[in-house]
Structures are given as C-alpha cells and as structure tokens.
Amino acid sequence: MALPLMAKATAVWLVDNTTLTFPQIAEFCGLHELEVNGIADGEVAVGVKGFDPIANRQLTAEEIARCEADPKAKLQLMYNPAAEGETKRKGPRYTPLSKRQDRPSAIAWLVKFHPELSDGQISKLVGTTKPTIQAIRDRTHWNIANISPIDPVALGMCKQGELDAAVAKAAKKKGAETMTDDERMKLVSTEQSLNMPEEPRVPSSMSGLENFSLSEPETEEAVVDADSLFNLPKGNGDDE
C-alpha cells in the first residue's frame, strides 16, 4: 500500500484538524494505532509540525469528509508522481535529528565488535557516511575522546534482524576471501567426487607397507633332533 509523504507529520495534521478515528489515520499513514493515540496525547512526534495533505495534493477535503462520516471507510491516497518509488529508494538510512548525536557511538560499537562489517554495510545500518566511519576507525574523529560504543539496536537505529543479516553476510564473504586455492579445489560437486579415482590409503613414500602388521613377527622354531641330544661326541678320555 502506498503511503503519504512525511507520514508521521501527516498523521499529526489529521489528528489536529479532523475527526477521523485513530484506526483510519493509522492505516492511511502506515503507523500503529497506539502511535496515533500517542500523537493525540502529546507523547509521540513531539515538536513535529503537521503536514497538510490537502495543500500537498495527497487528500481532498471531500475524501476526508467522506471518511469522517463513516468510521469504517478508508482514506484513498491521491496519485502523486513525487512519491513514485519512495518505498524502494536505496541508500543510507534516514536518521532522525534526535538520534544523530548518538550515531558516532553506534559506529564505534559496530567497528569495535564487528570489524568484519564493511563501511558500506555500516553506512546502511546507521545512516552515515564513509568518511565518518573511517575517522572513527582511525580515531581521528574530532570528538573521539567523548565517543563511547553503544549498541545501535539499543539506540533504535536499526533492527536486530538487520544487524544479524549484515554480520552473517560479512562473515560469509570474509571466509570466502581467506580460503586458499587448495581449499577451493576441494570444493567439488557430489557427481565429480564420485567419478574421482580412489586415493591411496597410505602415502606414496610408504608404498609397499599396505600389508605391514604391527604384531610381533613370527620366528621359525629350530627343529630339535633327539639323536643329537644323546649321541654326544666322545672325549679323548673315554677310549682309555
């Protein structure tokens, strides 16, 4: 479902200027109903200026009046060419102004505990630039003395699943790059391995020892002749 531009600011305007129900506003702006309730209570989007969807050609006054009369009706977003491909945009993640001061701490945490992540991956996770990442890696950042590593998930800059996916991808890539040529040659398919000749069980330098046994060698027992025991040679003294 297409969402309006500046969805949270649009929700602020709708809460302040219409009698639409919270579910109607939440569905139109892509927010949770509790977020809209928090906006009405002044606990969410504090200081956010409302974004008029009528003046910015996202809704018509007639469409708002129709949904105000029927709480079950859904607001229909007007087609806006400026919003085409908005949800598919690639690039660094947008970081709210309130959290940008914590971004160096998140970068320091990623650099310290996940050195396998590339600068591009860190940039997408926390919405920063490569020069900033490099400055923190080299400890040449202007405020490096006051930067303490903090988990970006705890700061709300990225989700745990996104971090785990980036770490797994980086680890897999690093493992492939450090693999030696001999190890790559061993990675053959099952069909190829079945057609390969059988490797000798002993090294070629020890050929001829296949039938070698570690048991004690059998020795031939000498045959004892009974006559040789009794027919002893006569000494010179027996003839006398």
Q: What is the DSSP letter of 114?
A: -
Per-residue pLDDT at 86? 47
**Which of 4, 14, 67 minimizes the C-alpha distance to 36?**
14
| Two structure tokens written together for 138 | 């080299």
Has this prediction a pTM greater than 0.85?
A: no
Residue 141 to residue 108: CA distance in whole angstroms: 11
What b/e sequence results for 29-61 when a residue is b if at least 16 CB atoms lie within 10 Å of its CB, and e otherwise? bbbeeebbbbbeeeebbeeeebbebeebebbee
**pLDDT confidence of 189, banded at 50, 70, 90?**
very low
Residue 179 to residue 220: CA distance in whole angstroms: 56
Looking up tokens 């006051």, which residue turns up? 146
CB 15 within 8 A of CB 42: no
Q: What is the pLDDT of residues 17-60, one digit of tens each?
A: 999 999 999 999 988 989 899 998 888 887 888 889 998 888 99
CB 149 within 8 A of CB 114: no
Residue 14 to residue 21: CA distance in whole angstroms: 10
Within a 10 A sphere around the Cβ of 2, how many other Cβ atoms? 13
Domain ranges (residues) in the chain: 7-88, 97-177
| Two structure tokens written together for 69 | 């009369």
Q: Which helix (H) or strand (E) holds 223?
A: none
- Cα 79 from chain centre: 36
Computed on alpha carbons and rounded to an integer, the radius of gyration of the chain in Å comes to: 41
Q: What is the pLDDT of residues 74-118, one digit of tens each?
A: 999 886 554 454 444 455 555 565 567 888 999 999 999 999 999
CB 83 within 8 A of CB 115: no
Per-residue pLDDT at 28? 92
**pLDDT confidence of 235, banded at 50, 70, 90?**
low
